Amino acid sequence: MKKYMGKTLVTILIMGCLLFAGRKGLAGLETANEERYLQKIFPYLLPGSTTFTLEMSVEAAEESQADNGAEVAGGPQTDNGTELAAASSAGEGGETEPVGEEIIPEEGEEAAEEEEIIRFVYRGETGYVICTVTQGYVDEIELLVGVDDSGKVKGLCVYGQHETFGLGAASQTNVPFLQQYLGTSGEAQTGTTVDALTGATVSSKAVTKGVNAAVAYVTGADISSGATSWGG
């Protein structure tokens, strides 16, 4: 019995060490490969731009949240340095406000909620490529959305999903479905302006929410209202 347990524990230990070492050793390479892949597809998502620089990442957002007491959402900087879309702060009157020291708690909550949707943002010459994460039917759906400076969607693709095969998974490959979002400026709504995928309303709503969140990041619109916990 002791021998049996010992052998199993040694095997688990060896496998664990191998995996941990592999993960640590390949971490840099993984980041470099992902960056290379993203740089390769960005020009298709945002035609007219050739160079893309990282403007905001999850780590940076978390750091800024920690620094500012978890109430400030990062937004794109214009050339003169004005904060364009501090999540909900510019939502009501279309005003652009720099991130202030005093933030009303409700707004802060909304900002944090919206920021959870955005994973990273890259700045191109003509706009932004934004990676959004929304809850689909099975798991989170990651979207890459190209939005130009005027707030129009120029391209999008599903970067990661685990939706049901044959139903929600089609959100990644169904070109006519994805094409519906091109040219929208945050007004996309599943069931009215956008036809949902057959048998995958929740996944379709999640894609819509992701696209609208990306546009809202650029324009500063408030998208938190009307969103359900399952996206849409």
Partner 1 sequence: MKKLTSKLKINETMMLALVMGITLIIMVLLKTFLAAAILIRLNIPNLAGLSLLSLLLTHYLGEKKSSHPVMNLVFAALIFGCLPWLAGLASVKEALWLAGVGGVEYTLISGMFASMTDRMECTIRSRLAPVCSAFVLFMAFQGFGNILL
Q: Using CB under 8 A as the criterion, which residues of the chain lie in contact with partner 1 when the complex forms?
A: 4-5, 7-8, 11-12, 14-16, 18-20, 22-23, 26, 29-30, 33-34, 36-38, 138-139, 160-162, 164
Instruction: Tell the smallest beta-carbon distance from residue 84 to partner 1 (Å).
Output: 29
- Residue 198, classed as helix, strand or coil, is coil
Instruction: Tell the smallest beta-carbon distance from residue 34 to partner 1 (Å).
Output: 4
From the list 144, 127, 115, the residue with the least C-alpha distance to 38 is 144
Q: Which is nearer to partner 1, 147 or 169 (CB)?
A: 169
User: Hunting for tokens 């501090």 — which residue is that?
Assistant: 86
Bridge partners of residue 118, in order along the sequence: 132
Instruction: Tell the smallest beta-carbon distance from residue 8 to partner 1 (Å).
Output: 4
Instruction: Tell the smallest beta-carbon distance from residue 57 to partner 1 (Å).
Output: 16
Instruction: Tell the smallest beta-carbon distance from residue 37 to partner 1 (Å).
Output: 4
Burial class (CB in 10 A: 0-12, 13-18, 19+), 72: buried
Q: Which is nearer to partner 1, 172 or 184 (CB)?
A: 172
Q: Which is nearer to partner 1, 99 or 157 (CB)?
A: 157
Instruction: Tell the smallest beta-carbon distance from residue 127 to partner 1 (Å).
Output: 22
Q: Which is nearer to partner 1, 58 or 138 (CB)?
A: 138
Q: What is the DSSP string of 116-154?
A: TTEEEEEE-SSEEEEEEEEE-SSSEEEEEEEEETTS-EE
Degrees to nearest 5, angle at CA 8 with 5 and 9 = 85
What tokens were used for 176?
A: 């006519």
Whole-angstrom CA distances from 72 to 64, 145, 224 are: 7, 23, 15
Instruction: Tell the smallest beta-carbon distance from residue 4 to partner 1 (Å).
Output: 6
- Rounded to 10 deg, the angle between the 105-115 and 58-67 helix axes is 160
Q: Which is nearer to partner 1, 33 or 150 (CB)?
A: 33
Task: Write out the E strands in 22-86.
Answer: 53-56
Q: Which is nearer to partner 1, 91 or 231 (CB)?
A: 231
Q: Which is nearer to partner 1, 34 or 195 (CB)?
A: 34
Whole-angstrom CA distances from 231 to 181, 189, 210, 223 are: 16, 11, 8, 11
